[in-house]
Amino acid sequence: MREVTRLPWSTLALVVANLLPLYGVVAGGWSTFEVVALYWFENVVIGGFNVLRMLVSAPDLQALLTRQAAQRRAAGLEPAMPSSQALGVAMHLAKLFFVPFFVVHYGLFTFVHGVFVVALLGGPPLGGLSLPWSQAREGGNGEALLWAALAMVVSHGVSFVGHYLIGGEYRRSTLPQLMFSPYGRVVVLHVAILGGGIATAMLGNPLVLLALLVVGKTGLDLALHWRSHRAPAGQAIE
């Protein structure tokens, strides 16, 4: 089963983006909340790039029809399928439903996640209900956090261009697959991050534990990144 080639530039960009929070913790005195707020903002970035993936998705229809015909034969069904032209039109029209639905669904998911981050690790709301990023930016490390957030955007942008566009993943990813592709990575990462962040905060934000939290997130991020880009053709790529 063919694997998608791993592009070293995306790995390098990911590591650099994750080294900035480590530097912030060691040299800038970042708190657990500021680190977790930055990682929450990364969820927003992931969602934004997934919208771009959905918009430019153009799977190889002939390969898709051949695969579906084989699946129908294996199930004992007649392999009569629509023409590739009709299927192509239907797929592009489907974006009018899938893209707004993803924006609303993922937006609510990210909002609720942000409320939990503030409630568990943040301070008092700033003039009402505030999300992690807006609250963290009010602190003394706001400018440094902004640069770290920009690095996150660049990292995901390199992956999008290198893997999805140049690597041809847009020809192997369908809208239903892309609809759910960010959730696995986000849930796995942030269950670990929240658990570690709460434990670190309860112990008074010790530097070593906070640095280990950042290093652990980087390692898990790399593992998920490599696994997703080794996905067989036809599977959604994050």
User: CA 183, 186, 189: angle at the middle one, nearest 5?
Assistant: 140
CA distances from 155 to 106, 161, 200 (A): 21, 10, 27
pLDDT at 70: 65
Rounded CA Rg of the chain = 20
pLDDT at 3: 42
The pTM is what?
0.80
pLDDT at 1: 38
pLDDT by residue for the chain (238 residues), tens only, comes to 344 444 578 889 999 998 999 898 888 888 888 888 899 999 999 999 999 999 999 887 666 666 666 666 676 666 555 555 656 677 778 899 999 999 999 999 999 888 888 888 876 555 555 677 777 777 778 889 999 999 999 999 999 998 899 988 888 888 988 999 898 888 887 788 878 877 777 777 778 888 888 888 888 888 878 777 664 433 433 3
All structural domains of the chain with their residue ranges: 8-228
Side-chain-side CA neighbours of residue 62 (13 Å)? 0
120's tokens: 């568990």
Which three-class secondary structure string do you get for the chain? CCCCCCCHHHHHHHHHHHHHHHHHHHHHCCCHHHHHHHHHHHHHHHHHHHHHHHHHCCCCHHHHHHHHHHHHHHCCCCCCCCCHHHHHHHHHHHHHHHHHHHHHHHHHHHHHHHHHHHHHHCCCCCCCCCCHHHHHCCCCCHHHHHHHHHHHHHHHHHHHHHHHHHCCHHHCCCHHHHHHHHHHHHHHHHHHHHHHHHHHHHCCCCHHHHHHHHHHHHHHHHHHHHHHCCCCCCCCCC
pLDDT at 88: 64
How many C-beta atoms lie closer than 10 Å to residue 21's C-beta? 28
